[in-house]
Amino acid sequence: MNARRVSLIAVSIALVTIMVYAIRVPVPATGGFWHTGVIAETFLATAFGPAIGAVASGVGAAIADLIAGYGQFAPLTLIAHGSTGLLVGLLAWRKGWPGMILGWVIGGLAQVAVYFVGEATVYGMGVAGATAELFGNLVQVGLGFLGLILFRIVRQTYPQIEQLASAASFEEV
């Protein structure tokens, strides 16, 4: 792994952490919160692929949970958001609108499903408790569409963005 890739991963993790932490809407029924982090997660996975998408989304969101005092949710968040970054990256990276839309939908549904199952079972909230967050989680991942729009805008002004995740190469002139 080269220095550029490590730097890109670090900045991506920081961006997700900030987007998750900056705007939080508490959910009293479950003790969790909704946030805008999925915008950054969708953008990063679409721009830089599944590896960076998964690491940045999972680790960034888990760090935000730890900083915000929701450490009990950090392991579930790591898996839920990591799966979103991975799936969006696999289905949307270097693809047109159909792949991007498919990635956003499947990645978002995976996040909602992981949270639902984890809250209902591991966290002992039962189906009723997990259902209390279902609508909000769907709305939250719906915001990921803004990440796709942001990617399209950035790619129009900076077409090389997708090359940042590739290994550096040099040509002798």
pLDDT in tens, 97-146: 999 999 999 999 999 999 999 999 999 999 998 998 898 899 999 999 99
What one-letter code names the amino acid at 58? G
In a domain, 55, yes or no: yes
pLDDT digits (tens, 9 = 90+) for 65-86: 999 999 999 999 999 999 999 9
Give the span between the Cα atoms of 128 and 12, in whole angstroms: 35
In a domain, 169, yes or no: no
Residues written for the chain: 173
In a domain, 124, yes or no: yes
- The CB-side HSE value for 96 (13 A sphere, CA atoms) comes to 1
Is 170 a residue whose pLDDT tops 60? no
**Which domain does 96 fall in, by range?**
3-164
Which CATH number characterizes residue 150's domain? 1.10.1760.20
* Residue 100 contacts residue 111 (beta carbons within 8 Å): no
In a domain, 150, yes or no: yes
Specify the pTM.
0.92
